[in-house]
Structures are given as C-alpha cells and as structure tokens.
Homo-oligomer: A and B are copies of this chain.
C-alpha cells in the first residue's frame, strides 16, 4: 500500500447576499476564518457571490474576494461580464458541481418579515442541491423551522442560524452544544437593540420622535423603523427561539405583539419614578396543554431585574430550564462583526460534524 498525502478538503461557500453582514463575513473569513477552518482540516473558498444591486460572480476555483469587496464598496458591479443569469437559484445550482468537499450556502439577504422570504426559498434550494446552509436571517427559523430541520436531515446536511438572534452571542449553539438533555421551559429577554436604545433615551428624558430621529441619524434605527418599534423584529426572534429551543411550531404572526411609540416616553418615566424600568420584553412559556405562548411588549421591570439594567445596544436572554433553573446570556456589545462571527462559527460546526477525520482519530478535535 502506498501512502499518499491526503488531498486538501475544500469548504466551498456561495454567498447569497453581500450587504453589510455578507461583506463583514467575507472580511472575517479572510482575517480569521482560514486559520480557524484549517484547524478543522478544510481549506475554505468563496466560489460565488450574489447581490441584489451589484450583480453576481462565480469562480469554481475561488472568487477574488478583495476585488469583490472593492467593487461593491465603490458602487460597481461584481463582474464586467453579462451575469444576469447568475441569480441566487442559478448560483445555488452551480454548487452541485463544485469540489467533492463541503458545500455551504451562506444566506444573508434582506428579509421580508411577513413571510420569511426569499430566505426560506434559498434555504430549500440549497438543501436540494446537497448544500449545508448558514443564515443570519431570522425568517427561516421563525416561519418554517420544523419543516426545514426535517428537510436538512433528509438531505444529510446542516441548517444553522446562530446569527439570527443576538448576533454572535451563542444561543442556539449554547443550547445544542452545552446543554444536552436540558429542557427549556420558557424564556424572556431583550432582543431588539433599536427599541432598547430608544427606551434608554426616553428614560433620559428625550421625547419619542426626537429619540427615534436621532437613532436614525446615527444608523441605529432604519429609515423605516416600523419593523423594530412595532415589535416585528422581536416577534420573529421569539418565534425562532421558541421553535428551536421549545419545538413550538409557531410563526411571528402567532406572537402577541405590542410595540413602542410616543406614549412610551411617559410610561418609561413613570416606571423610573416607581423605581422600575420599561423594557420591550420578548417571552415565551409552555402552557399546560403543551402549546407555547409567545409575546413581545413593553413591560415594567423591577430595578434589580437583569433585563431592567440593559441599556442601549445590550441584549439578554434568560432561559428557564428544568435542570439548571434560570440561565442568562447577555450581549453587552453588539454589531456587524458579531453577526459575521456567528456565520463563521456555524461553518466551524459544519466542519466538526461533516469533515471526515483520519482513520482512528477521535470523533472530535478537542
């Protein structure tokens, strides 16, 4: 028997979406990801990128990522070729033909909160093409978790979305990797940064409209802030959390939802006067009949409550469990790098699960 050095195993990535999150991910992958994934025995390549407004690019041997970043950030198209045919479905389809290694679709498109699209469709196309899926979108887990989980299992691929809630802070990974056998009975949290920024400003005496305008000026709130202030973003996160951690099988439309508005300024100050704090609390609990009740709305909290003391961008989630009582995870600083890291850590998970190991090696590299 002749000994041959093993062929390099490629992890080929198609980026569907190349906005702020997708680009930060591409940078983080270049800076940190290569080495991190090499420890798992794979060589990572971005082989395709699809954008809404900057065209598309495909290169089975690996895209020139620095050039792609420069082009998009200079407002140019990704490719000088006629590339209109390279839609996301076409790129996902091309993934069938790349390498014999791991194939991953990293999905970061803009989400339609009312239905979870187009993210869900891309996820399903990726499964059908034999690709693992990593997404920063809440939509797939919020609207269609159980079905997608089963489709992924049937296709023998992974479906991961750590970045969907609380950026890169481990929530789904925490439950899956570090809490085996623990049942989540319910949770409550502060999971939307824009509303928390606004509530902090209201507590400092600002009125609602100027506070919102200021948040929009500094880029914390969107031009159309309704997804945040009406509680839709938090409702999608509650649904994703409840579906994954509690097998709830709900959608954001099932979440009892109340947002914040101009009247919240008085409410926030009244709470302070009473020694309490107003926070937009996202919560879920299992009812006696086995179903899960989920809600988003402003709640007056005792001043000593962990959630009451989250100001600005800080987020937290308190899990109520059977074996460990209450556990809280807090993100004191959030942002794009954190979300990009969530995508990267999901790639590591895919390697840990699916990259073959040499004969006789332990199942995991400790």
Interface, chain A (partner B; CB < 8 A): 28, 32-33, 35-36, 153, 156, 158, 167-170, 173-174, 176-182, 303-306, 309, 311, 316, 318, 323-335, 337-338, 341, 344-345, 348, 352-357, 362-364, 366
Contact = CB atoms under 8 A, between A and B. Distances in A.
B327 A332 contact: yes
A333 B325 contact: yes
Contacts of A179: 170, 345
A168 B329 contact: no
B353 A366 contact: yes
Contacts of A304: 309, 311
Given A353-B364, A363-B363, A363-B364, A181 B330 contact: no
Given A153-B366, A178-B178, A324-B338, 9 more contacts: A35-B181, A36-B181, A169-B324, A177-B177, A306-B306, A309-B309, A352-B364, A357-B363, A363-B364
Nearest to A338: B324
A333 B323 contact: no
Nearest to A334: B325
Contacts of A181: 32-33, 35-36, 344-345, 348
A116 to B, nearest CB: 22
29 contacts: A28-B323, A32-B181, A33-B181, A36-B180, A153-B366, A168-B323, A173-B178, A174-B174, A177-B177, A181-B344, A181-B345, A305-B309, A306-B306, A316-B328, A318-B330, A318-B332, A323-B337, A325-B334, A325-B338, A326-B331, A326-B333, A327-B329, A327-B330, A328-B332, A329-B329, A352-B364, A354-B362, A354-B363, A355-B363
A177 B180 contact: no
How many monomers of this protein are in the complex? 2
A333 to B, nearest CB: 3
User: What 4 pairs between A and B have smallest CB-CB spacing?
Assistant: A325-B333, A170-B178, A326-B332, A328-B330
B158 A366 contact: yes
Nearest to A304: B309
Contacts of A170: 174, 178-179
Contacts of A338: 323-325
A170 B345 CA distance: 17
B362 A353 contact: yes
A178 B35 CA distance: 17
A180 B327 contact: no
Contacts of A173: 177-178
B327 A169 contact: yes
A123 to B, nearest CB: 16
Contact of A330 (B311, B330, B352, B357): B330
A242 to B, nearest CB: 20
Contacts of A318: 330, 332
